[in-house]
């Protein structure tokens, strides 16, 4: 069996239909790519706005930090830093009163709590106890 032969006008129609199908596929791909480009451009714009806001926040924080650095340190912060450097951590209650001291000992490799709530003894006594614990 032989295939029926097609005439030239029929071949032109087949070629046009194939080209139309290819064009339709390419147009669909073009639409999809254009949509993705648009989404990415929106994303880039959003990220640039976020970057601008973060840079503004950074500048404000730097200015605030510079202003705070120019001020003298707070007395209570200095005391806390001294205590911590000596190995003493203060524990406060909700009224910001010292209720306990945690004394770190390097030689004993441990922490010893000293209850200070109610302050039953004098400051001199507590300072001697803390000094002795630190030196042991």
CA distances from 124 to 92, 111, 119, 127, 133 (A): 20, 22, 11, 5, 14
More reliable by pLDDT, 1 or 37: 37
* Structural domain includes residue 19: yes
Q: What is the CATH number of the domain that holds 94?
A: 3.30.160.430
The SS3 assignment for 48 reads: helix
* Structural domain includes residue 13: yes
Within 1-136, strands assigned E span 88-92, 98-105, 110-115
Q: Bridge-partner residues for 90, per DSSP?
A: 101
Is-above-0.75 flag for pTM?
Answer: no
* Structural domain includes residue 2: no
Same domain, 60 and 99: no
Same domain, 52 and 81: no
Which residue in this structure is represented by tokens 């400051």?
Answer: 123
Q: List, for residues 44-73, the tens digit of each pLDDT value.
A: 999 999 999 999 999 999 999 998 888 887
Report the number of distinct structural domains present in the chain: 2
Q: List, for residues 100-136, the tens digit of each pLDDT value.
A: 888 887 777 788 888 877 767 888 888 888 888 777 6
Same domain, 123 and 90: yes
The residue segments making up the domain with residue 120 are 75-135
When mean pLDDT is compared across 5-19, 22-36, 114-128, the lowest value belongs to: 5-19
């Amino acid at each position: 069996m032989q295939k029926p032969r097609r005439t030239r006008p029929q071949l032109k129609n087949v070629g046009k239909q194939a080209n139309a199908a290819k064009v339709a596929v390419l147009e669909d791909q073009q639409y999809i790519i254009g949509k993705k480009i648009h989404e990415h451009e929106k994303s880039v714009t959003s990220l640039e706005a976020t970057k601008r806001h973060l840079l503004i926040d950074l500048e404000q924080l730097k200015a605030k930090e510079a202003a705070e650095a120019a001020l003298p340190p707070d007395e209570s912060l200095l005391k806390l830093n001294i205590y911590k450097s000596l190995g003493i951590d203060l524990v406060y209650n909700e009224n910001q009163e010292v209720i306990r001291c945690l004394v770190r000992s390097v030689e004993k490799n441990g922490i010893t709590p000293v209850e200070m709530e109610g302050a039953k003894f004098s400051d001199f006594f507590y300072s001697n106890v803390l000094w002795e614990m630190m030196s042991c």
